[in-house]
Structure 1
């Protein structure tokens, strides 16, 4: 019998001690058959090192950019030189990817970020980092998830830097997504410190301001995107509303604490600039609260909560950095906004209570009565 596809090794070839041609072809096929790794176009397989993320922000007077407020880790991971479609995705990362897709499905969020991540790997790395933190919040015995979160975010930072320096129409949308996800990671990461390492003492207000700086980094990216598209917008736009304005009247009627807080700002602020930025921040936080209450299914991701730190005036942010009591009081009302989106954005549930309790500690009994409403919405 001669050798063919059905009989790759035949008796004749054995007798003359000759390798069958089909046997050689089969062996070659076996060599190239995938065995242990499942391949996806992702570049999502960082080497895990024992590292911690620390978040750096420059508290200067200019508008921060994403590269000013980037998480920094102790180990730099260079991007792989292999083509994306030939890079293996470990099963551990497949678990994270599946878990994040399920989370998007359950919470009703758009999963298109994952598709963007296949074209821009730093987006996928950030998604997997956030997924690792989410999975650890559900399975705290799996300490290795913290290492994976750090490793993925470190890889994301390495890969995104060239695009931060050279923003263009092809990558700006991916950089915006990366910045938005990273600002959520900035809130999630302090909640889960590695138990085998000595961690710094965490201050919820400082951590929140750090997240604000990173979120405001989105602002510079958006402004660059609008510039490229020839669109003129002002993120600080919005008239100063008087009490006769219908929108203002609606807020005053719907939320009794709102006019009380406005009056307190007017009487407490000595400088006109302080008063104006505090009134603006207060109006915006109550506007976003009513938007989420009236339209709970609108944008189930973090964007409506992230808009507030993007739109507040820089002077108000400086008042928060200086721990001015009236500004911290307004920040206490922001915790209500976070609470309203805690059903779909898991770090917000813990952070709304954590932030409000810290503000109460700093302000003390003198301001306690003015925090009754946020306390009833967040802590009850």
Structure 2
């Protein structure tokens, strides 16, 4: 693509971000200004954030315009690469991170990067025939979530008060909530924990690791009074559970261990509950369910996984 064409496309993406992408997040109305106005203004002084804004806008445009998907994903991946390189440089040298605005720019870039990671990996593999890759891709995203944890935990303390007051709202949009879904998920997870603790198909170490994974998911879907940025319980759990998992549980998922995959299906239910309002998560639960269902056909996991699988298939997906 010629330099002039690329710049024109960037201008179009910046307009797309301010007019469409910035208003596409499931956030309270009083917080939209942060995404529509504040982030673009901060990005003009912080190239890594500007590249991330353009990368996310490109992925969103690819999501909305399937006919131009290849063009937008290709151009967005270039901006994503620049954003990652910029964040890495800042972390290595510490420049600008100690300032309030610099720390905020890094926090915002990390958050937008998570959204674009979920969306781009799914859009690159939107073909239903690619379902077998879904688990590996989600585990890559888990690595991203866990890797960005230190950045976000450190930088959130420096967010300006006016931004905090806007993001920290007790009035998360009601349409994001899935009603009693999380209560039912927690009840079923309690039952699963009892089964895991007495399952003769697991050794002691496996049972302990899986039990910890269940406990982390129960905690992630519950109330967190100390959470600084308020959002829906479901959306928060999507990001919190990967952060809370022990590496041993991640290893079981990588090995496609049936007990860990069964727990993961409950995470898919939480994920599915966000898809109607979170475009960047749309389609993930269906791909993951298709993949995991093929690995849980043996006893006793076929019986144990029946409820989450039926729950997921009951709602279905557009993908």
Kept in 1, the 8 Å contact 2:131–2:287? The answer is: no
Distance 1:145 1:253 in 2: 40
Cα deviation for residue 216 of structure 1 reads 0.1
Q: 2:98 aligns with which of 159, 162, 169?
A: 169
Kept in 2, the 8 Å contact 1:179–1:215? The answer is: no
Alignment match, 2:263: 330
Q: Which has the higher helix share?
A: 2
Deviations along 1:90-146, whole A, 9 cap, x unmatched? Answer: 234323432212324887565525244333232232232222222222211123222
Deviations along 1:331-378, whole A, 9 cap, x unmatched? Answer: 111101112222332232310121122111122243223223323433
Alignment match, 2:161: none
| 1:14-33 pair list within 5 angstroms | none
Matching of residue 118 in structure 1 with residue 44 in structure 2 = yes
Distance 2:120 2:185 in 1: 36
Matching of residue 260 in structure 1 with residue 191 in structure 2 = yes
Alignment match, 1:377: 311
Give the 3 Å change call, closer, same or farther, for CA 106–310 of structure 1 in structure 2. Answer: closer
Distance 1:160 1:125 in 2: 10
Give the 3 Å change call, closer, same or farther, for CA 150–89 of structure 1 in structure 2. Answer: closer
Deviations along 1:211-243, whole A, 9 cap, x unmatched? Answer: 000000122325655999xxxxxxxxxxxxxxx
| Larger-gyration structure (1/2) | 1
Alignment match, 1:102: 23
Distance 2:239 2:89 in 1: 25
Distance 2:122 2:92 in 1: 31
Distance 1:105 1:224 in 2: 24
Cα deviation for residue 194 of structure 1 reads 8.8
Distance 1:160 1:98 in 2: 26
Alignment match, 1:147: 74
Q: 1:299 aligns with which of 220, 223, 231?
A: 231
Kept in 2, the 8 Å contact 1:126–1:181? The answer is: yes
Give the 3 Å change call, closer, same or farther, for CA 158–324 of structure 1 in structure 2. Answer: same
Give the 3 Å change call, closer, same or farther, for CA 110–282 of structure 1 in structure 2. Answer: farther
Kept in 2, the 8 Å contact 1:288–1:337? The answer is: no
Alignment match, 1:132: 58
| 1:80-95 pair list within 5 angstroms | 90-95=11-16
Distance 2:125 2:116 in 1: 15
Kept in 2, the 8 Å contact 1:190–1:202? The answer is: no
Kept in 2, the 8 Å contact 1:343–1:349? The answer is: yes
Alignment match, 2:168: none
Alignment match, 1:236: none
Kept in 1, the 8 Å contact 2:249–2:260? The answer is: yes
Give the 3 Å change call, closer, same or farther, for CA 364–181 of structure 1 in structure 2. Answer: farther
| 1:1-380 pair list within 5 angstroms | 90-104=11-25, 108=29, 110-113=32-35, 114=39, 115-143=41-69, 144-167=71-94, 168-170=97-99, 171-193=102-124, 203-222=133-152, 255-268=186-199, 270-291=202-223, 298-300=230-232, 302-366=235-299, 367-380=301-314
Kept in 1, the 8 Å contact 2:145–2:243? The answer is: yes
Q: Tell me, which stretches of 5 or more residues in structure 1 are unaligned?
A: 1-45, 50-87, 229-250
Kept in 2, the 8 Å contact 1:289–1:336? The answer is: no
Give the 3 Å change call, closer, same or farther, for CA 120–365 of structure 1 in structure 2. Answer: same
Which 4+ residue blocks in structure 1 deviate beyond 6 angstroms? 46-49, 251-254
SS at match of 2:19: helix
Kept in 2, the 8 Å contact 1:204–1:355? The answer is: yes
Cα deviation for residue 310 of structure 1 reads 0.4
Distance 2:212 2:310 in 1: 24
SS at match of 2:67: coil
**Structure 1 stretch displaced more, 161-170 or 305-314:** 161-170
